[in-house]
Structure formats: structure tokens, C-alpha cells
């Protein structure tokens, strides 16, 4: 894990945080569904940024914000992630869940370990997916 000084932080992280913030709008869609309590932004190796929000449903058929952003990326013909940030309704970064980590490892089995993930926005703490998921499908 690395904590980066503000002046050494890649400016893309600020853009990712801001883009995730733009789609972070928690609201209750129905008695059975809430959306937007978590938002994510990913940067691909091409430099494009894709966003997504979480969808929480009573029947558990929802989706995490990170996977939603990844599906948005795939819909647009890209498949290699460089950076990931997910933020909650308080603007705090949070790590991807196990399902999101698994999807990223299957998406990039040879290079998943290089994907950078912002763990703590306030402290500028960044880890790699390889650090979070050191031994995929042993």
C-alpha cells in the first residue's frame, strides 16, 4: 500500500473522483430498489473514463458501482482498466468487494495485478488489485 503526497498524486485521480461524484445521487426508485448510494469511475489504458452507480434491490439482483462502470466500459469496446475509484454518499473512497475484484481478475488475468485502486481519498492511499487479490484462483 502506498500513501501518496497530494503534490505527487496523478491528476487523473482527481478527475476520477470528480466524475464519480457527478453520478453519485442516492435515491429510492421504488419500495424495493435504491440506486446511486455508491458511484465508481474507472480509467482505461486508453485514458477514457467510465462511470457507474450501484443498484441495490430487495431481490439481490442489483450491481456494484464498479461492475456497472466496467460493463459501461465493455459496452464501449474497451477491456483494460488502469485505475478504479468508488465513493460512497459521504464522498469517501471504498475498496471493491470480492465480486468486483473477481470480475477484474477475469477481465485481465495476465495484468490484473497492475490495476490501481484508491482505498482512501482523504489520505490518498492507493493499492494495486494484486495487493488486494494476491493469489487469484489458486
For the chain, domain boundaries? 2-132
Task: Please provide the CATH number assigned to the domain covering 2-132.
Answer: 3.40.140.10
Mean pLDDT of the chain: 94
As a whole number of angstroms, the distance between CA 22 and CA 40 comes to 10
Report yes or no: 66 and 84 within 8 Å, Cβ to Cβ: yes
The pLDDT-based confidence of 9 (bands split at 50, 70, 90) is confident
* Per-residue pLDDT reduced to its tens digit, 90-119: 999 999 999 999 999 999 999 999 999 999
Q: According to the model, what pLDDT value does residue 4 have?
A: 67
Place of cell 487469484: 136
The size of the chain, in residues, is 138
Amino acid at each position: 500500500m502506498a500513501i501518496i503526497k497530494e503534490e505527487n498524486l496523478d491528476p487523473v485521480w482527481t478527475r476520477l473522483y470528480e466524475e464519480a461524484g457527478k453520478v453519485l445521487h442516492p435515491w429510492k426508485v421504488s419500495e424495493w430498489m435504491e440506486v446511486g448510494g455508491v458511484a465508481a469511475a474507472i480509467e482505461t489504458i486508453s485514458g477514457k473514463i467510465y462511470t457507474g452507480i450501484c443498484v441495490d434491490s430487495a431481490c439481490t439482483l442489483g450491481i456494484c458501482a464498479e461492475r456497472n462502470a466496467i460493463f459501461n466500459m465493455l459496452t464501449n469496446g474497451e477491456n483494460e482498466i488502469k485505475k478504479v475509484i468508488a465513493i460512497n454518499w459521504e464522498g469517501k473512497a471504498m475498496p471493491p468487494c470480492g465480486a468486483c475484484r473477481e470480475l477484474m481478475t477475469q477481465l485481465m488475468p495476465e495484468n490484473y495485478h497492475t490495476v490501481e485502486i484508491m482505498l482512501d481519498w482523504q489520505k490518498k492511499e492507493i493499492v494495486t488489485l494484486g495487493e488486494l487479490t494476491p493469489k487469484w484462483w489458486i
